[in-house]
Amino acid sequence: MTRRDAAAVAKPALNSEWIVRKTLFVFAMTTVLGIILVIFFVARESIPALRQVGWSNIFLSATWNPNVSNPATGHYGLLVPLAGTLAATLGGIIIGGPLAIGTAIFLTQIAPPRTGKLVVRGIELLAGIPSVIFGWIGLVVLVPMLARVTNTQGYGILAASFILGIMIIPTVTTIAKDALETVPEEYKQASFGMGATRWQTIYKVILPSAKEGLLVALILGIGRAIGETMAVQLVIGNARQFPNSLTSVTSTLTSRIVTDMGESTGAFRSALFVQGLVLLIMAMVIILLIRLVTRKTVKAA
């Protein structure tokens, strides 16, 4: 009786709800399928290079010298762009990390509501700017400026780090802000109650208890920086040498791919897919790192 009543009530809702639920399920599955297809495709396209020129030619070599007319005899070492990616990402985090986390602290602990709102709008705007715009500004404003200040060509790791530092701010600030907001108000009150100043409270109470969340914010920022392509490609110089100083030109995995992909064929093209695969693996490692960090938090809680 009651069950039938429930069914009678539920039935009219069932149709539309069923459709919505199934539609959303299909959408979700499409995303998963997309990711699987991307991994499968990139891996498959990487195989010819690994077969034709060998693992050591790619993973243990710093020589990038493709042979266009006979791709299988070229040199496709990825150590230079790998080093470039790591250096530019590290530089981006060093410049952007403190800025972004500082902004998040300001927003959650210090800013009066109206100022805070203004800053949040600004950061939202920053997140919406296409990366090629950052690259273009980097190319016509930042690079000439760095060239004057450092008395070099201006291209290189430093220019890329500045651009990446600014580009990761929205990601890191947003996540860090969420992490800081979850710190219970009682902690703060207790700290103030014991006579701590605002700075002491931030430094000794708020930051330590939001530590994991802040770490996740930084890791996501690293992920954002590693994959950035256009903005970096325009300012890094795409040279085939290791970065030996902050202002020396070099290349990153993404800039190498986008510079050479146009008319490459055979093992040359496939070697670029290997670099893409390396980027994918780096992205997966980052996700794994985040899971490790957050799992610890859950356990601690």
Partner 1 sequence: MRSGKRWILGGALLLAALLTVVGLAGCGNSSTTSDQNLTGKVSLSGSTTVLPPASEAASQFMDIHPGVQVSVQGGGSSVGITQLSQGLVDIGMSSRELKSEEQNQGFLDHKIALDVIVVVANPGMTVDDLTKDQVKGIFTGQLTNWKDVGGADAPITVVVRDKASGTREMFDEKALDSQDSTTAAIEANSNGIVRQTVASTRNAIGYISLGYLDGTVKALKYNSVEGSKDTALAKTYPLSRFLHMFTKGEPQGVVGVFIDFVLSERFQNDVVAREYIPATEL
Residues that bind partner 1 (CB under 8 A): 12-13, 16-17, 19-20, 65-66, 68-70, 139-140, 143-144, 147, 153-155, 237-241, 248-249, 251, 258-260, 262-265, 268
Angle at which helices 2-53 and 266-300 pack, to 10 degrees? 140
**Nearest to partner 1 of 20, 292 (CB atom):** 20
Nearer to partner 1, 10 or 118 (CB): 10
Q: Name the residue nearer to partner 1 (CB basis): 39 or 258.
A: 258
Minimum Å gap between C-beta 107 and partner 1 is 36
Q: Which of 199, 274, 280, 200 is nearest to 48 (CA)?
A: 274
Q: How far is the CB of 68 from partner 1 (least distance, A)?
A: 6
What sign for the dihedral angle of Cα 39, 41, 42, 47?
Answer: positive
Residues 6+ apart with CB under 8 A from 172: 96, 97, 100, 101, 104, 217, 218, 220, 221
CB 245 → partner 1: shortest distance, Å?
12
Among candidate residues 80, 104, 71, the one with its CA nearest the CA of residue 182 = 104
Least distance between partner 1 and beta carbon 262 (Å):
6
Q: What are phi and psi of 244, to 5 degrees?
A: -105, 0
How is residue 76 annotated by DSSP? Answer: E
Between residues 132 and 285, which has the closer beta carbon with respect to partner 1?
132
Q: Where does the chain show beta strands of DSSP type E?
A: 64-65, 75-76
Q: What are phi and psi of 170, to 5 degrees?
A: -60, -45
The least CB distance from residue 239 to partner 1, in Å, is 6
Residue (12 or 113) nearer to partner 1, CB: 12
37/39 Cα distance (integer angstroms): 5
Q: Closer CB to partner 1, residue 205 or residue 272? A: 272
Nearer Cβ to partner 1, position 174 or 238? 238
Q: How far is the CB of 139 from partner 1 (least distance, A)?
A: 8
What does the alpha-carbon distance between residue 65 and residue 75 come to, in Å, rounded to a whole number? 5
64-65 and 75-76 strand pairing: antiparallel
Least Å distance, CB 9 to partner 1, is: 11
